[in-house]
A = this chain, B = another copy of it.
Amino acid sequence: MDFVSKYKGQIDAALEKFFTDKIEGKSGIEKEAISKLREFTMRGGKRIRPLFMILGYWLNSDVDDRIVKASISLELMQSYLLIHDDIIDQSEIRRGGPSFHRMFGYEGRINEGISIVCADLSDAYSHEALLDVDFPPDRLNSAMKLMSEIVEFTGIGQLMDITLSLGDEMTVDDVTAIHKYKTAQYTVNGPMKMGAILSGYRDPNRIDRFGLPLGIAFQIQDDILGMFGDEKELGKSVVSDFEEGKKTHLILYTYQMASRAEIDFIRERLGRKGISREDFERVRNIIEKCGALDKTRELLKKYYDEAISSISDLSPSPSHRDQLKYMADLMVRRTK
């Protein structure tokens, strides 16, 4: 059985249990905060980060209850960061439902204030979930330190994203750097290394050569789906990335490859709300026709190949290698 089918249910169950234990005996706003965090966290579905943590652990140790319990720390961290992100971007939709700060019925700024704090709670929960599990203390410390570094990297990526998006000078290299900081560490590499550390894997840094390129490939696929994916499968509108003004490889390659008039057409609309279906169709057409979509797919393949080529260094076991390949494929072939 593949990794996802085998462990996704266990991760969800461990998350449910965490929230059930947390909510017990609570009342008032604390209870409301925890229930809303539960609803928000359970609504998301892929559990990619916990899965990569379990995968990293499995490279050196049989999967047990402990690593499943520890892995939910990454979903709690994910909720923390997503809630802040959505306030910053003023996003209204997340995971096919309202963004967290739209789940409260107070006035706008109060909802945001409460949500900033609820996110901070989820951050504290993520540490508790990790530190409560019965691993050797030195491994727990290293894993906890790495988790903080992941948050740090993600924050730097987020700051680069916010400030570089303001100007017109963002380059393809900037976008790749942001992907590396914001996604590659956070989604694939960091979680896998945390799992490896908890298992006592001898050289966790070796994972960088798999996790970093795969993480970048994951984000590029995300950007492609964010403009060309199926809205029903994604659970979000495909115009939202564009309306938020996200400067992806797709956009920056188009700026290099399309005609002056086409570039102007996109520039005038990128980052503005309320684009018409026809105009958005034309934007997608330009990106496709000028070759930017193909070029982005080639870049994705380059990173994917880089990750695949490192697999043989990570483990001598054929079944490990198969699952690493399976997870890599899943990241770049997913449709949601």
Contact = CB atoms under 8 A, between A and B. Distances in A.
> Interface extent on A, as a size class?
35 or more
A275 interface: no
A160 interface: yes
A84 B159 contact: no
A149 interface: yes
Given A87-B116, A88-B116, A121 B162 contact: no
A106 B162 CA distance: 11
Contacts of A28: 160, 163
Given A110-B166, A117-B159, A120-B155, 13 more contacts: A30-B159, A88-B113, A88-B117, A89-B113, A114-B159, A117-B162, A120-B123, A121-B152, A127-B127, A127-B144, A128-B152, A131-B148, A137-B141
A158 interface: yes
5 contacts: A30-B159, A87-B113, A106-B166, A121-B156, A127-B148
A87 B101 CA distance: 15
A124 B106 CA distance: 30
Contacts of A160: 28-30
Given A29-B160, A121-B156, A145 B166 contact: no
A84 B117 contact: yes
A59 interface: no
A33 interface: yes
Nearest to A129: B148
A139 B118 CA distance: 28
A52 interface: no
A80 to B, nearest CB: 8
A125 interface: yes
A17 to B, nearest CB: 18
Contact of A141 (B84, B131, B151, B156): B131
A121 to B, nearest CB: 4
B162 A113 contact: yes
Nearest to A177: B28
A138 B141 CA distance: 9
A140 interface: yes
